[in-house]
Structure 1
């Protein structure tokens, strides 16, 4: 038996929004993510290309490890909570 995993529709929508110039900022609330693999990393990097992505935590250890192992933890703007992200956006 085989299975196929596809990203959540919201993730694909976020990736598509990254190319829309009318979207000023994309906030990815990752505080409830329990599984992270290269597919998730790919979606985050696609959204990051627009330079408008902010990742809201707190991040679970698996996601932290994935970001650190791939070196992307230094490239992504990550905050400790959705509230911290909101505060940072209002600057």
Structure 2
């Protein structure tokens, strides 16, 4: 969900949800699985690094920008990072 463009995120979710809250929550819930994924050696160190970089950028945006303008350049960079990370994970998939 994080890798989709803002307009597609809005279209993909019910109208009663707050898009930014839902997308960030989905990513954070997925991030909670990292210890199990690392313990089971399911992804490479390179992919772990990509996920950590994405997580750090997401946290930076939350602290410095908030979610009021979820369609700005920084959040769009997060989306691009998420897309690249997803593509790399699919390419190297052991899941």
TM-score, shorter chain, exceeding 0.5? no
Higher fraction of helix: 2
What TM-score do the two structures reach when normalised by structure 2?
Answer: 0.30
Larger relative contact order, structure 1 or 2 (CA cutoff 8 Å, min sep 6)? 2
